[in-house]
Amino acid sequence: MNTRTDPRRSEPLTLFEKVWKQHEVVPQTADTPAILYIDLHLIHEVTSPQAFSLLRSLDLKLRRTDRTLATMDHSTPTDPDEISGRVPIKVESAARQLKQLEVNCREFGVNLRGLGSDQRGIVHVIGPELGATQPGKTIVCGDSHTATHGAFGALAFGIGTTEVGHVLATQCLLQRRPKTMAIEVSGRLGPGVTAKDLILAIIGRIGVSGGTGHVIEYRGTAIEALSMEERMTVCNMSIEAGARAGMIAPDDTTFAYLKGRQYAPTGAHWDAAVERWRALRTDPGALFDEIVHIDADSIAPMITYGTHPGMVVPIGAAVPQRPGDAAHAKSLAYMGLQEGEEIIGKAIQVVFLGSCTNGRLSDLKQAAQVLKGRKIAPGVRMLVVPGSQQVKREAEAIGLDRIFIEAGAEWREPGCSMCLGMNGDLVAKGDYAVSTSNRNFEGRQGPGARTLLASPATAAVAALTGRITDPREFLAGAAPAAH
């Protein structure tokens, strides 16, 4: 890890510094944080109820309804019968949260993508889909994985429930200015190696606190070669390295993704926006507080073995040995693994394909390429959960749902599902789940559940074999599932 500092920290500027500067209402001082203007506030049913209660208690109105976007995702069931209302929502606390969000949005004038909306989905999936996520914006949400939107060159980060109330009331936020970190990824990812493997490798390299206090800018040839959905996967997990946010400079790939979407500018406004967005790139000679170099060519498919995303190894490697490390030993005891044990070949019982990390169309295509014409292993349960109604429609239009169902998987309604155990989709105690989500904490997918984070390709191959398997063995001969 190289470190460079410049006490002047003036011009030229990094991408982060430009966006920060454009949104400073009041600069920070030694005694006070900056006041930052927020362009887009994303809300959902879990972290917003107390914030709306705060507005009521202080007799305050919501400052900018046009800059507030609401959806249902975290505690929302993915069972089609529950979503359609054919049966009651089984988790009572979830039903109450969903009802309260409807009440709050109606009372304060927020446009809600509710259960019946064809634009509903995981908050970090629908923001980009709608074109509400744009380069240069400040975006916040009461959710850790708001960093996803940094893939567009936005400064996006998660906030607490009290801060959700502040933004609802003022459209501003008190913030201390973070440091900057550049992660330069040279080369190209090899066949069967995905954006998920890349970000897991990065977290494995710098650790779960390696980005603490920083905003990361991902740069280099391997980053520039990624699609927008792949860039979202990378930025999504910035928080798992401890970073405040992750950003990627907007380019032609970004503009092509956004053009024509509902909230994207049109006509002359589009041309002006693109010119403005191009200027956001980090200036030549701009300095970062830290720089990390990663060689993409050296990365293999990755898989976690412990209880945080930094406990990760290449899929063919063994569980590391750390004599005397009590935390490591405790984590392995929870996971039922031994130091020196190979991960590959480990039997699994559940596969979860979905989440704001890997629940987009390209992720489903990647898994379907593996599963097409095959059956998942006996005794393995596989849930496929699209990230949004739009992803679901597009997947069904090209027959991906049939591929999953014929392979023996469950095709569900959009939502956060097994990413977190609060909506009824759970992994049983002691079971191993290969999951495309972003966190493998103890109990994250249910009490006693053992989570192994991996890419959609690795998850799909594990579903077929019933064991942890190198996806490159299958992808080499697999035909594309759909175009």
User: How far, in Å, CA of 147 to CA of 145, rounded?
Assistant: 5
Q: Which residues are annotated as a binding site?
A: 356, 416, 419
**Which residues, in sequence order, are bridge partners of residue 172?**
37
Place of tokens 């169902």: 405
Task: Name the binding residues for [4Fe-4S] cluster.
Answer: 356, 416, 419
CA distance 275 to 257: 16
- DSSP label at residue 321: P
Q: Rounded to whole angstroms, how far apart are CA atoms 483 and 481?
A: 7
Q: Which of 62, 70, 53, 50 is nearest to 114 (CA)?
A: 70
Quickly tell me which residue has 């966190």 as its tokens: 439
Q: Give 256's contacts (C-beta < 8 A, 6+ positions apart).
A: none
Using only C-alpha atoms, the chain has a radius of gyration, in whole angstroms, of 22
Please say whether the beta carbons of 365 and 387 come within 8 A.
Answer: no
DSSP string, 27-81: ---SSSPEEEE-SEEEE-TTTSHHHHHHHHHTT---S-GGGEEEE--SS----HH
Cβ atoms of 392 and 479 within 8 Å: the answer is: no
Residue partners of 122: CB distance under 8 A and separation at least 6: 71, 73, 355, 356, 359, 387, 388, 414, 415, 416
4 burial via Cβ count (<10 Å: 0-12, 13-18, 19+): exposed
DSSP 392-404: HHHHHHTTHHHHH
Structure tokens at 400: 């991906």
